[in-house]
């Protein structure tokens, strides 16, 4: 099984609204494997670094202020096509377009309060994982369920 990793974060609104467990549960139930997890309070500089690709957008300053407004829970999830599937679990960026059944579709209303982050490509996932985690914080382990999840 070629395994891929993605960076998923519960944003400050998701933490404040008590959605950490709900978001973790959806990735667990799907069959993905958690390989790193931490709670932290992002600094302004960390928020800017995380969203560096969006620095020219008109909403960048508000985004950085929001992302650094309270603790986040950052995670690395591993599995087949986990980057794309993770984005499907999150739902469309704007919750007005996110389907019911997705995290944003079920729990968010405004694009600037969409409760979760997920890497949008394998390359950006690599960058974001390295940005938030030290290599030794990523745990290699074998799930007992691997043979039930993968053929």
DSSP H or E stretch at residue 76: strand 72-79
Nearer to ligand DAT, 63 or 135 (CB): 63
Is the CA virtual torsion 50, 138, 124, 92 positive or negative? negative
Please tell me the distance from the alpha carbon of residue 150 to that of residue 121, in angstroms, as a whole number. Answer: 22
Is 50 an active-site residue?
no
Q: Report if residue 131 touches ligand DAT, rule: CB under 6 A.
A: no
Q: Which of 8, 9, 63, 75 binds ligand DAT (CB under 6 A)?
A: 63
Please tell me the distance from the alpha carbon of residue 77 to that of residue 98, in angstroms, as a whole number. Answer: 21
Q: Report if residue 111 touches ligand DAT, rule: CB under 6 A.
A: yes
Nearer to ligand DAT, 63 or 103 (CB): 63
**Could you list the residues that contact ligand DAT (CB under 6 A)?**
54, 59, 63, 93, 111-112, 114, 117, 120
């Amino acid at each position: 099984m070629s395994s891929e990793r993605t960076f998923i974060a519960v944003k400050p609104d998701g933490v404040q609204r008590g959605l950490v467990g709900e978001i973790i549960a959806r990735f667990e139930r799907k069959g993905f494997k958690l390989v790193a997890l931490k709670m932290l309070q992002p600094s302004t500089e960390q928020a800017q670094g995380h969203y560096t690709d969006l620095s020219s957008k008109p909403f960048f300053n508000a985004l950085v202020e929001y992302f650094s407004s309270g603790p986040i829970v950052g995670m690395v999830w591993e599995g087949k096509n986990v980057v794309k599937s993770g984005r499907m679990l999150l739902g469309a960026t704007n919750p007005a377009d996110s389907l019911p059944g997705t995290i944003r579709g079920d729990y968010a209303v405004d694009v600037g309060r969409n409760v979760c982050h997920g890497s949008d490509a394998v390359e950006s996932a690599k960058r974001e994982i390295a940005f938030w985690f030290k290599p030794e914080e990523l745990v290699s382990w074998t799930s007992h369920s691997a043979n039930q999840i993968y053929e």
